[in-house]
Structure 1
Amino acid sequence: MSAVPIDDVAPRHLLKLTPGVPADDRYDELAGIFRPVFARIAEGAAERDADRILPIEQVGWLNQVRFGALRVPREAGGFGASLVDSFRLLIELAEADSQIAQLLRSHIGFVESVLLLEDEAVKARWFARFVAGQIVGNAYTERAGNDLGKLNTAVEPTGTGWLLSGEKYYCTGTIFADWVAVTAVAPQVPGRHVAVVSTRHSGVQIYDDWDGFGQQLTGTGSTRFTHVPVDTLLDPAVLDVHPESAIFQLVLLAVQAGIARAVLADARLQTQARTRTFSTGTGQPSRREPQVLQVIGEISAATFAVDAIVLAATAELEAAIGQPGLSNAEQYAVCELAANRAQAAVQPLVLQAATQLFDGLGASSTSTRCNLDRHWRNARTVATHNPAMYKSRIVGDYEVNATVPRKLSAVGDLKTPKGEQ
């Protein structure tokens, strides 16, 4: 019997999907539930991006299989997933469609807040909503007119509860959500509150007016609230125990990890299928061209590194959250530093990989029909959030001077000091 020529044998990819993480039957069980949905989502991701079609149907598929209840304890009807396993799944979702993974950012952060609540009745109410497939959007940032560290959006007391009024921007995920978490101020109670209201109320107006060149389908637009009843109000004392900003940042890094995986997958598939080659090359097919293979190998290495960094940072958060030996301030510092280190390392790797993709595929890959530029556009857009350029300085100040990261407050306008007007 003659040997089968190697060119006729489909390559077996033996590298683990998630590097640095041991075999886990629980994760395999969860992945078996969600991967078929991820595959359906991936099928139209490039077309939705090109045509700016909001993934409303696709978010519905995830809600039907209760992806938003991953972290809800089993006894409350959820999946009881660990933080690391939930982020491993989030990376897989981001590989299928990075925009859908990002629009769940606020929901993921809010679930973590609920897990740490001491009020069991409030916790049970939200667990039931998550298990029913309901998700939470975001309305934290005000576009202009608020001073740095302060908010104009406010809650006011009534005889039966609180009413919320104000206007927000960067409201990622809200257009797809059942509820929205809104940062606000309250009379006579200093500090930042989070008011959760129904997106179905007539006083909530949601606009899909995000005009960034990437991540265009995340619903990151503006929202106006006019005397909207507040379902749940979390005050500063409750929020103080939760490393919210680190969770939010790690979600974005999981999105970046998914983009890197998608870049690698497209680079591999396009190289395997390519028949044209360059007169300046070696005359071999692209799949045998040494320099092309080097490019693919470098993208693979970057993807491996990004996955490992994001999951290591997530594991550090999971170990720190609720650790008895840490004060709230120490827990915040540990989580913030882990996320900052990861962000500083991850962003350049993903952006470089999304650029190298075109080095291996040539000018034809820049065709708008391919829409391969979406990977770079999306990665570049995600990288602008909580700008990475500040993170290395924060980490360095801690390493050299033991300066702990400051608690984040509202983004806003700087006041012009007197005498400088």
Structure 2
Amino acid sequence: MTQTIHKQAAHLATIIGSDAEALDVARTLAQAFAREAAQRDAQRRAPYEELTRFSQSGLWGITVPREFGGAGVSSATLAEVVALISAADGSLGQIPQNHYYTLEVIRVQGSEAQKRDLFARALAGERFGNALVERRSATASERTMQLVPDGEGAFRISGEKFYATGALYAQWIPTAVVGEDGNAYLVIVARDAQGVEVIDDWSGFGQRGTASGTVKFDNVRVAADQVLLLADPHQPRTTIKPYAQLIHAAIDQGLARGAHDATRAFVTTQSRPWIEANVERAAHDPLTISEFGRLAVRLEAADALVERAADQLDAARVDPQPGKVAEAVVAVAEARALTTEIALAASTKLFELAGTRAAAGELDLDRYWRNARVHTLHDPVRWKIAAVGDYYLNGRLPTQSGTT
């Protein structure tokens, strides 16, 4: 594989050896990332320094299997790591989502040589972004970019992708294409390859730091060892998509926790003299206490569903029988449904319980709602709820829907 490395590469990443260590590192980083999260959001400041620290911490390599030098952490641990970071800074929590997705594609579909090379890069601190979705396609899962043969052992790709979260910050841009056989493939393209242009045109009002903009490919040449099968409609479903969806659930879970914690902090610890009396009353007001309790219960329920889904997903990853994979898909859909609801509810309730100062922008508390509102639109949760209902009512297994 090409040895070109983008100048933002992290070279001396720590190797994390266990689930417990991964969680400890994530908690420490979350505390650090939370300190200037409001300023980064308000200023639309790209988190280059934070991402360098994040990837060098070793957390971006924790899903690499043990036989390739990683910790091979459980899906529950990965979800908790993502939730911890997302609670501190929603953008930083979402940026590595496609990185972990790519590592799962490599685990499931990669050759031994590809696994050795690409897993080693992840362990070294190199980051995988994404260029999966096409702006003008009918659905988010539809691809039209072609993988065109270019002599023996090489291909060319041309086209434009959108919602390319993390591509601006990455050394590698995994790109979804369609082969001559009609199958979907993932091409691992070097960020600095000739013909690649990353455009920072993301203008969303939430998740501002994700840089989910545009990537253009102009006759980019890729080697055969940079190409992995992504999906074959004639083969049994894999764990790749529910794995990606679980990470999205964890992002929403973290956003809900962040809003919940911000609400508690606001109504209990505000120190400005002119509002102290009102805050004291708010912290002991029965209605405020009741509403805060309702949120806490739903958040605990979402946490439980995420953990349950992660356990079922791991069972399917070890033994990817169709029935187990389908059960994992349903469990992840259930978790996504509730994490979507609690992320929106917690961030909305923050306005109600904190009052007008939450909406005035002075404390940038509105970022929790903006982040939750934008991220929960990633793919429609209403279809997940319908799929769950169809499964329990009619015994119909979910289709291969749901994107990264």
| TM-score calculated relative to the size of structure 1 | 0.83
Q: Confirm or deny: 8 A CA contact 1:193 1:233 kept in the other structure.
A: yes
**Match for residue 85 of structure 1?**
77
Residue 317 of structure 1 aligns to which amino acid in structure 2? L
Residue 397 of structure 2 aligns to which amino acid in structure 1? V
Match of 1:212 among 199, 204, 208: 204
Q: How far is 1:123 from its partner?
A: 0.8
Match of 1:387 among 362, 380, 383: 380
Structure 1 residues 75-84 or 348-357, which shifts more? 75-84
Match of 2:218 among 217, 221, 226: 226
Seen in structure 2, the aligned counterparts of structure 1 residues 193 and 28 have a Cα distance that, compared at 3 Å, is: closer
Please list the CA deviations of residues 194-218 of structure 1 after superposition, one character each: whole Å capped at 9, or x if unmatched: 1111111131111121222211211
Q: How far is 1:136 from its partner?
A: 1.0
Q: Confirm or deny: 8 A CA contact 1:151 1:184 kept in the other structure.
A: yes
Residue 288 of structure 1 aligns to which amino acid in structure 2? H
**Structure 1 residue 304 corresponds to structure 2 residue 294:** no
Aligned pairs for 1:29-178 (under 5 A) are: 29-117=21-109, 119-144=111-136, 150-159=142-151, 160-178=153-171
Seen in structure 2, the aligned counterparts of structure 1 residues 68 and 386 have a Cα distance that, compared at 3 Å, is: same
Name the CA distance, whole Å, in 2 between partners of 1:338 and 1:248: 13
Q: Confirm or deny: 8 A CA contact 1:117 1:123 kept in the other structure.
A: no
**Match for residue 253 of structure 1?**
249
Residue 370 of structure 1 aligns to which amino acid in structure 2? L
Please list the CA deviations of residues 215-274 of structure 1 after superposition, one character each: whole Å capped at 9, or x if unmatched: 121111111011223252112349965322212221111011111111122112112223
Q: CA RMSD in A?
A: 2.6
Q: Confirm or deny: 8 A CA contact 1:136 1:178 kept in the other structure.
A: yes
**Match for residue 333 of structure 1?**
326
**2:134 counterpart SS class:** coil
Q: How far is 1:109 from its partner?
A: 0.9
Q: How far is 1:67 from its partner?
A: 1.3
Q: Confirm or deny: 8 A CA contact 2:110 2:228 kept in the other structure.
A: no
Q: Confirm or deny: 8 A CA contact 2:19 2:74 kept in the other structure.
A: no
Which of the two has higher C-alpha Rg?
A: 1
Name the CA distance, whole Å, in 1 between partners of 2:253 and 2:147: 38
**Structure 1 residue 362 corresponds to structure 2 residue 358:** no
Aligned pairs for 1:261-272 (under 5 A) are: 261-272=257-268
Q: How far is 1:150 from its partner?
A: 4.6
| TM-score calculated relative to the size of structure 2 | 0.87
Name the CA distance, whole Å, in 2 between partners of 1:198 and 1:223: 12
Seen in structure 2, the aligned counterparts of structure 1 residues 26 and 150 have a Cα distance that, compared at 3 Å, is: closer
**1:139 counterpart SS class:** coil
**Match for residue 405 of structure 1?**
398
**Match for residue 373 of structure 1?**
366
**Structure 1 residue 244 corresponds to structure 2 residue 237:** no
Please list the CA deviations of residues 95-117 of structure 1 after superposition, one character each: whole Å capped at 9, or x if unmatched: 11111111111111111122224
Q: How far is 1:398 from its partner?
A: 1.8
Please list the CA deviations of residues 108-137 of structure 1 after superposition, one character each: whole Å capped at 9, or x if unmatched: 111112222462111111111011101211
Please list the CA deviations of residues 343-377 of structure 1 after superposition, one character each: whole Å capped at 9, or x if unmatched: 22221222111111122222122221211111111
Seen in structure 2, the aligned counterparts of structure 1 residues 350 and 223 have a Cα distance that, compared at 3 Å, is: same
Seen in structure 2, the aligned counterparts of structure 1 residues 396 and 303 have a Cα distance that, compared at 3 Å, is: closer
Q: How far is 1:29 from its partner?
A: 2.6
Seen in structure 2, the aligned counterparts of structure 1 residues 226 and 332 have a Cα distance that, compared at 3 Å, is: farther
Seen in structure 2, the aligned counterparts of structure 1 residues 35 and 291 have a Cα distance that, compared at 3 Å, is: same
Overall identity of the aligned pairs, in %: 29
Match of 2:311 among 315, 334, 349: 315
